[in-house]
Structure 1
Amino acid sequence: MSNPDYTQLFAEDGTVLRHPDRPTPRYSLPRAVKNFRLLMKDKEDTSLVFKIFESLPSKSFMSRVESLMLSERGEYLRRTEPNLPEILDDHAALRKTPKGSLAHVYCDFMESEGLSAAGLVAESDKLGRPKYPDLVQWFAERSRDTHDLFHILTGYGRDALGEQCVLLFTHGQSPSHGHLLIGYAGAANIKTMAWGSKAPIFGAVNQARRTGKGAKRLIEQPIRELLKLPFDDVRAALNIPEPTKYRECHRIWREEGIDPYDMLATEDTGGEGMAAA
């Protein structure tokens, strides 16, 4: 069966699924490896992260976009949550939800880390990538805007290992060779930095990948409604278990005198930048 012409598929309001001017990415492992090596030399160059993803496009991406965006659920999400950052950055409104809600945990996390959803958008916009008036754009931006919720719901921190675990969790949710390359290469880098440590680093990222695959896809969930619910209830409803291997790594590192947030954070391989890929 031939692939559908996504430029001829439309939402109820007439928005095209894939704009005809949007370039079709071409798979190139050599180009991805080249950009990954450059990323290892300059981990602050977020543009390289996107180049890696563009070099390793997922064959299932457009079918996943079509499945959600042309469904009743997709129509509902676009109508009720057209712009997640506006919802997520309104902490005054989020704080009005019951104590112990996902909203309160989210606000606590973002405020303690000095983060905002708008900040992630701004970092993405700095790259100057073209935008198109299609459903792919909305899908990609929603994927970006749920990145910090991934951290919060999974329990993976913003240390280097936590970022790699989020990448592999994301792969479980939305398979991409880019997540695999950067996630596992990043884990190997951490293993080298903590040489001799007994921490199960690959056990942690493998568990994250399994968790992402087994959990309900966050991009498909009504985030506004989830924010009102008790945090533990949301994790249970989404089938997200405790990150036991990740926490075991942190426990072992503490016993070994290693601080993952200090020593290993400098070796982060672009997990934050990945949010907008």
Structure 2
Amino acid sequence: MMDSSPHKVYHEHDFDSRQYLEHYFSDKSDMAYGDDVLKFPIENLRHVFAVGHINGDILIDLSVSSLVHHLYSASEFFENIIVLKVNNRCIMELKRWVDDRTGAFYWGHTSALHQETEENSDQFEDKEGKLRSAIQHVVKYDLEKENMTDPLILPPADCVISASLLDYISKDQDDYIRYLRKFSGLLKPGGHLILIGSLDKTYYTVGKDKFHGFTYNEDFVRKVLVGEGFIIDYCKVKERTAVSDLTDYKAMMIIAAHKEK
């Protein structure tokens, strides 16, 4: 029998950050999404940062759950990373890892994967330690406020990176454009925006709950970015290889652009 109940929405309903990580980002042998959500962004982000000359003082991360694996490359070029989170569970889960506390989610498999992508991969470096040091602040935000982090005023960022957040918070195309505009407003003139997302997704599962996924394609994102004054520097799409019904995306995408001055 088909489930006719509406899907939950990431920022409006109770979201179990830890269970989400266990489903999609763990080192378990039966975790189906390694190539798509771990290896694909790690490999491409290393290329984007190194070749795109993306660096500066401040990087702001606006991503779902308590993800860290997409920030290893960023920590090579930014000593100050500000992470914005929508709810307290995501904040607590991330801080547990940043503070290296007992019970933190294990990300060692992803730091090893990042190490493998480097030319000097035979030289061990504490990727997790470097990233922990770079994450200077973890701040709660409210999407509906004009200043999302009110009463805090964030310094303009050289780069904003967002993994899956627009996919999860946008209910339609107008939402996507409105939220993207908010993210863009965090950038300095000429600043860089990096988006990681999944194409043609309608839902994802966390525990017994199904959550809404905004359905879009590569052409839509390109048109929106250009319409918001960005110049696209890099785009890569990977067809889905995961075999699992936890979520129904068709492909993964990473796109990097810079804001016209």
Between 1 and 2, higher relative CO (CA 8 Å, sep ≥ 6) is seen in 1
Alignment TM-score, normalising by the size of structure 2: 0.29
Higher strand share: 2
Higher alpha-carbon Rg: 1
Higher helix share: 1
Alignment TM-score, normalising by the size of structure 1: 0.28
